[in-house]
Structure 1
């Protein structure tokens, strides 16, 4: 019987959790060297004692993954993050065999694939900006819930107002002070507290908007992205904070696909069959781009640049909804070109394909050669 010897650890798959961290380590030949759960406070010490410098440590993207990756990079390890939907297919036990040990083994196996796409590790500053964006979205949901709650309570007493929040804001103080309606004193006090809560949420949202505006004013990338029609300060700030290094994408088309703004495919036998957009990637970024594109499409007839003229024609041909998605995808590609290649945004820019450039050069040379 041949004895199997285990070599030095070269790759580790880590399944992160709040209190227990599962590791799965293999050597150069892919033989399992270590499989064990570790307490959270003992994980870094284990890496220092058991792993060689520069060892590949792969983790699935989840809460705290970027923090651990930054700590491991500071210690000299090659920390990498993998999106969760790329890890699942490598779990040998399938969906029914999901546990921490199997997940760590799947992460380790996925990290060994030459074609695997890893998630860039965010800096602490990037995550700080995203904190503001996430809080802002949460406050917006709370504001909507608070407004609907106030409307529902007022409806119980036959008090109905226009749908806009501004109409309710203007009418609510007078309604609470009006003694002619049948609102009991306790209900008035309760609605006054709800109104104060609404005002407090508005203050929180305003604070978030101030932080985002300050980021756009001081960050060159965010300032450049905000120049596009259909991209405002919130979208520009979110793009820079979420992506960071735009050169990680080879082309603008790849960036648009990462955002889920390209058609899904069900093609076979050389026949292309395209469907709705894939909706992959960051839902928040895609939503911001589409919402901004809606405003740009609806006001395109008021502008005279090439993009706006194209939008007017596209809207008449395919409808405003498809035109909105098309503009969101175009804006994503333009943002990539501006931030990855350092170009200046020009709304009247004319794209020239590489083949057309070569043809133009050849034609110019031929014309020069035949010139008298």
Structure 2
């Protein structure tokens, strides 16, 4: 049975599908479907599958994985391509939905596409909860900045010895003597901040409770053997990756985080630039946050020793090597005068390699009690 490669340009309003045969450039199909009319698209592809082996794909985007799941359930093979890794022709300055779908089908047929992993519905729900927590945390930080700027504009500075956003700081803001209108404005800001902070606590409690369940408990325990990983940070890493074994090497996982340096080398000249940032930004953020805790010294506190005792010997060795390497690398780069931001990025890249090693080592039964 001849194969047909179907490229789909998926939008909220419509889906444009172009199917190309194994040989030749004359389309087997080129049709448009409504964004809400998936049943007609499935029917058309199933009809085409009676005479051809249909393989479909589309770019990952805001429409999610619903189309993929629908087609797979209907028996049509469908994959999702990574948009940043799709080959582009710089000289082609004409862009339409039909041309995009055709170019995608051509690249699919030439086997030049890189595909993303399709998460299960349960995995997507967990990832959604954790990203919801990140969005609310960003809003909390933003409102805090707004309140701090508002107080500064109105020449209100906290008394000496009162640290920001402590109970004493909240009492000071609530007791400030202001005009009725200014009092109303500040109270509105504080009420919004209090509501968001309470929501953030509730979600974090949900995530921590989720970390204790069977699908995640063992993986969270592994990650917590590293210095700087709380149950929340471990769940954030797991939710973004889920299957660590899909990366054959540590270098591939580092590339996925977007922490590797860019390069533009030619002939004898080697030019390396800033990190690519071409990977998962949520994962990159967690790793950078983790290395900010405790890289200045390799001291292991009582809590870290207890967490390391919960993993087996080979896993504990990975955690210890990570702790020593990050400590030495931090001071090596710092003594060379490397900027603090670059040091953090370099350490996060190293940490990514150790995380991959920790999560891909086979389970052993000799874990210490």
**Do they fold alike, i.e. is TM over 0.5?**
yes
Matches within 5 A, 1:256-267: 256-267=254-265
Q: Which residue of 1 aligns with 2:360?
A: 340
Aligned partner (choices 119, 125, 149) of residue 122 of structure 1: 119
- Structure 1 136/240 Cα, relative in aligned 2: closer, same or farther at 3 Å? same
Q: Which residue of 2 aligns with 1:315?
A: 330
Tell me if the contact between 1:14 and 1:58 (Cα under 8 Å) persists in the aligned partners.
yes
Tell me if the contact between 1:235 and 1:285 (Cα under 8 Å) persists in the aligned partners.
no
More displaced 10-residue stretch of structure 1: 44-53 or 30-39: 44-53
- Structure 1 106/87 Cα, relative in aligned 2: closer, same or farther at 3 Å? farther
Q: Paired residues, what number?
A: 333
- Structure 1 174/337 Cα, relative in aligned 2: closer, same or farther at 3 Å? closer
| Cα displacement (A) at 1:13 | 0.4
- Structure 1 26/126 Cα, relative in aligned 2: closer, same or farther at 3 Å? same
Matches within 5 A, 1:1-372: 10-30=4-24, 31-40=26-35, 41=37, 42-52=40-50, 55-87=54-86, 89=88, 94=92, 96-161=93-158, 165-167=164-166, 170-178=168-176, 181=177, 183-218=178-213, 219=216, 220-269=218-267, 272-301=270-299, 305-319=320-334, 321-342=341-362
**What secondary structure does 1:295 align onto?**
coil
In structure 2, what is the Cα distance between the partners aligned to 1:295 and 1:255?
A: 22
- Structure 1 247/306 Cα, relative in aligned 2: closer, same or farther at 3 Å? closer
| Cα displacement (A) at 1:272 | 4.6
Tell me if the contact between 1:88 and 1:106 (Cα under 8 Å) persists in the aligned partners.
no
Tell me if the contact between 1:130 and 1:241 (Cα under 8 Å) persists in the aligned partners.
yes
| Cα displacement (A) at 1:331 | 2.5
Q: Which has the larger Rg?
A: 1
**What secondary structure does 2:262 align onto?**
strand
- Structure 1 170/51 Cα, relative in aligned 2: closer, same or farther at 3 Å? farther
Tell me if the contact between 2:2 and 2:53 (Cα under 8 Å) persists in the aligned partners.
no
In structure 1, what is the Cα distance between the partners aligned to 2:241 and 2:362?
A: 16
More displaced 10-residue stretch of structure 1: 116-125 or 329-338: 329-338
In structure 1, what is the Cα distance between the partners aligned to 2:116 and 2:143?
A: 37
In structure 2, what is the Cα distance between the partners aligned to 1:299 and 1:104?
A: 53
Unaligned runs of 5+ in 2: 306-319, 335-339
| Cα displacement (A) at 1:234 | 3.1
Q: TM-score when scaled to structure 2?
A: 0.80
Would you tell me which structure has more helix in proportion to its own residues?
1
Q: TM-score when scaled to structure 1?
A: 0.79
Report Cα offsets for 1:64-106 as digits up to 9, x if no partner.
2312112211111221111112335169x72x32221111112
In structure 2, what is the Cα distance between the partners aligned to 1:341 and 1:19?
A: 45
